[in-house]
């Protein structure tokens, strides 16, 4: 009996010490009502709705996910505990509303939706949950309190990639460049991208034609692959560009011994012998701005952040590092044009076209020449010397192709 009592006393003492240690050593969790909060005093949570898998290793969803997690880490948030994701959500209103319900139920303070087709559902969710901020990529709808949109001047990066593609076509003596695109003139986003890329290529090779095949959806790897192959087999394209989610067009270019410009992320690893560069997004620039404002002044989020539209000047868009597959001296062209755009002196869709003089040491001097911006039907879009078309056109109503674009499967 004495032995039993002694043993019981020791056990009670050890148990008491364990409780005391736990009470003293749990300093990281400052909100005992939220067991997931670690180093996040206010329990701030980020929600995200993805069109593809959060585990993608390249492309559109990958870059958004990378941007969100990078911004969170910069702000001292832990993506493992403070980020809630619903991925592989189709552009279906009910599916998106269900995802919004899930994220709000998980305690998210701000919800990012990354696909254009989420627009109506996110507008509805914002009205249903006025205490939560909803931020929608690539769209155009917003309200005055808790719903905004964000996008960027990716057409500027498209122009730079077009320079790399045009120089390569000039080197190869082949004026045919291919472009696999989700859509054409149905969306200003795709239309402006094709146009800007074409104008960039024409600035170094005026005889370039950009042959476009449309897949009719934002992501379909099999179609991306087959239509890229068609551009090579049917139109003898020596460079394959793209506005679609996967690296398939670049892989096809690599397999066929031609070259390519990817999109969203650096696809050199996917197509090491083919890839030149890719227009890319630095989504973390916006995500950090949005999260900071949602954390510090949520009641005035829309007033402070607005509908975001950054470009090269803000570091929001750019191109991936030029690969060794590029023509020697390409970087000099890119740097000179980038400086011109960032300065605000010139923009892509103006009545001023660029040509270049190259010194013996490779230095590039830009010539600005007044010339009308004309579509494929011969209509004058901007008069010679005229200012660039308005942002609202680039983001919302551009529905024409510039001269040099050849559409094959509308």
Res. 207: pLDDT tops 60: yes
Whole-prediction pTM: 0.86
The mean of the pLDDT values for the chain is 91
Question: Cα(206)–Cα(189) distance, rounded to whole angstroms?
Answer: 24
Question: Cα(207)–Cα(110) distance, rounded to whole angstroms?
Answer: 48
Read off φ and ψ for residue 78, nearest 5 degrees.
-105, 110
Read off φ and ψ for residue 155, nearest 5 degrees.
-60, -30
Structure tokens at 355: 């040509």
pLDDT: which is higher, 24 or 274:
274
pLDDT band at 234 (very low <50, low <70, confident <90, very high): very high
User: What is the pLDDT at residue 6?
Assistant: 41
Res. 1: pLDDT tops 60: no
| Structural domains of the chain sorted by starting position, each given as residue range(s) with its CATH number in brackets | 46-152+283-310 (3.40.50.2300), 154-278+320-407 (3.40.50.2300)
Res. 7: pLDDT tops 80: no
Res. 18: pLDDT tops 60: no
Which distant-in-sequence residues (6+ apart) come within 8 Å of 117 by Cβ? 90, 91, 92, 96
Mean pLDDT within 262-281: 97
Q: In which element (H, E) is residue 334 found?
A: helix 330-342
Mean pLDDT within 131-159: 97
Question: Cα(44)–Cα(377) distance, rounded to whole angstroms?
Answer: 53
DSSP symbol at 402? B
Least confident of 28-32, 227-231, 244-248: 28-32
Classify strands 364-370 and 239-243 as parallel, antiparallel or unpaired: unpaired
């Amino acid at each position: 009996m004495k032995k039993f009592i002694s043993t019981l006393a020791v056990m009670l003492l050890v148990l008491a010490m364990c409780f005391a240690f736990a009470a003293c050593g749990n300093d990281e969790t400052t909100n005992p009502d939220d067991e997931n909060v670690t180093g996040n005093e206010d329990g701030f949570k980020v929600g995200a709705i993805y069109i593809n898998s959060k585990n993608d290793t390249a492309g559109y969803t990958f870059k958004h996910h990378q941007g969100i997690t990078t911004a969170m880490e910069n702000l001292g948030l832990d993506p493992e505990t403070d980020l809630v994701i619903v991925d592989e959500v189709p552009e279906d209103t009910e599916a998106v509303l269900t995802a919004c319900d899930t994220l709000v139920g998980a305690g998210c303070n701000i919800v990012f939706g990354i696909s254009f087709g989420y627009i109506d559902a996110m507008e509805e969710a914002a009205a249903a949950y006025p205490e939560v901020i909803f931020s929608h990529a690539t769209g155009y709808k917003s309200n005055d309190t808790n719903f905004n949109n964000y996008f960027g001047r990716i057409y500027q990066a498209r122009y730079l990639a077009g320079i790399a593609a045009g120089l390569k076509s000039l080197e190869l003596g082949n004026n045919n460049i291919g472009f696999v695109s989700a859509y054409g003139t149905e969306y200003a986003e795709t239309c402006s991208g094709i146009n800007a890329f074409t104008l960039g290529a024409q600035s170094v090779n005026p005889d370039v034609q950009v042959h476009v095949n449309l897949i009719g959806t934002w992501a379909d790897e099999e179609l991306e692959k087959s239509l890229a192959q068609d551009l090579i087999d049917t139109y003898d394209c020596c460079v394959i560009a793209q506005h679609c989610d996967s690296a398939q067009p670049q892989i096809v270019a690599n397999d066929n011994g031609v070259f390519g410009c990817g999109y969203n992320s650096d696809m050199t690893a996917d197509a090491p012998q083919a890839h030149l560069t890719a227009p890319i997004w630095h989504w973390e620039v916006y995500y950090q701005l949005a999260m900071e404002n949602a954390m510090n002044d949520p009641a005035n989020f829309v007033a402070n952040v607005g509908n975001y539209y950054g470009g090269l000047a803000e570091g929001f868009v750019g191109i991936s590092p030029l690969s060794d597959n590029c023509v020697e001296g390409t970087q000099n062209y890119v740097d000179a044009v980038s400086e011109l755009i960032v300065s605000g002196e010139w923009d892509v869709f103006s009545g001023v076209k660029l040509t270049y003089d190259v010194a013996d040491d490779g230095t590039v001097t830009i010539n600005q020449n007044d010339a009308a911006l004309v579509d494929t039907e011969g209509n004058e879009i901007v008069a010679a010397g005229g200012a660039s078309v308005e942002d609202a056109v680039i983001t919302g109503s551009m529905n024409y192709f510039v001269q040099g674009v050849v559409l094959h499967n509308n």
